[in-house]
Every structure is written in C-alpha cells, then in structure tokens.
Amino acid sequence: MIVQDYREYLDDILVTEEDLRNRVAELGEQISSDYQGESLHLICILRGGILFLTDLMRQITVPNTIDFMVVTSYGTARKTTGQVRITLDLQENIQGRHVLLVEDIVDSGYTIASVLEFLETRHPASLRVCTLLNKPERREVDVPIHYCGFIIPNKFVFGYGLDMDEYFRNLPFIATVALDRYRPTNESG
C-alpha cells in the first residue's frame, strides 16, 4: 500500500512545533499551580491524545499517575456519529482522586460529554478536562473545558497525535488538510 505524502494535501500549518512546546509548558505550569499540594490522575483518551499527554505530564510538577481509555465516535468517517463507545476502560480506580481528562481535540462535544458522564459514576474527588485543541464552531453538546491549548477554526487537522486515516500522528506540528487534494489511503496505491 502506498500512502499519499502529507505535503500533497497540507493546506496550512496551524500550530507550529514551537507554539506547541510553549503552550504545553504554560498549561503544565497552570495545572501544577491549580493542583499544588495534591496528586493528580491523568486519563488520556487514546490514540490522538498520547503525544499531548507525554509532553504535558513532563511539565506538571505535582505528583501524577496516568491511565488510558479508548473511546470512539467516528467509526471510519471523518464526522462524528454521535454514538460513543468505550472500547478500552480504565485500569485504575478513580474514586476520591483528582482526575484530569486529557484529550487531543474537542469539537462536537459528544465524546467528552459521554466520557465525563461515565467517569462521574466512579466518584472522583474532582474531574476536569484539558484539551489541546478546541473547535467551538462544531460544538453540538455543551461541555466544560478547564484547560485549553488552542482554539481552532472548523477545519480538519492532523499532526501531533491527530491522524489522517491513522497516519502522520508523528508530525511535530498541527496542520489543516486541503480535502480536495487528499486521496484516502485505500485509493493511494
């Protein structure tokens, strides 16, 4: 299988590597200040949030632990179905713990709303959301966002954990896609 070179459909670099590094450091400082004297349990929604989580947790100075969830609402499409499924649940008990949900992007709000509702049933001491990207133009469900890296326009993005048909999560920046120049992977070969 031949995968189309991302440079063929890269429209614009929306967030540079340097901007990411600086903003993640600022978020880590803010979170550390807000949780001073506490320990924090970070829950990452895989797969998109993994790069953000690893960079963020290195910037947080309060003691922290991590856990992971896999949640889907997209299936194979590029638009949410609104149907949220948890395909990997937490390994740790969060009852009585300060929990920070770390997400790559909040757009429609369906995924975060469902995950928050699900996690609340486990009685954490506190439950907050930290998202790298916030796309408020797409919001269909109101959700609380306590920490936000960047507010972005309603465009399809990839890089820094976000994929283009599962590829290019490894890019050190976040870019927008020119969909008119993109060929889905199954058509590239």
Hey, which residues are catalytic here?
107
In DSSP notation, 6-62 reads GGGTEEEEEE-HHHHHHHHHHHHHHHHHHTTTS-EEEEEEETTTHHHHHHHHHH--S
- State the DSSP H helix or E strand holding residue 127, giving kind and residue range, or none if neither: strand 126-134
47 closest CA partner among 24, 68, 66: 68
Q: What are the φ and ψ backbone dihedral angles of 67, each rounded to 5 degrees?
A: -150, 170
Q: What are the φ and ψ backbone dihedral angles of 178, each rounded to 5 degrees?
A: -90, 95
Burial of 150 (0-12, 13-18, 19+ CB in 10 A): middle
- Give me 138's structure tokens: 């797409």
Q: Let me know how long the chain is.
A: 189
- Give me 6's structure tokens: 């991302």
C-alpha atoms less than 13 angstroms from C-alpha of 182 in its C-beta half-sphere: 17
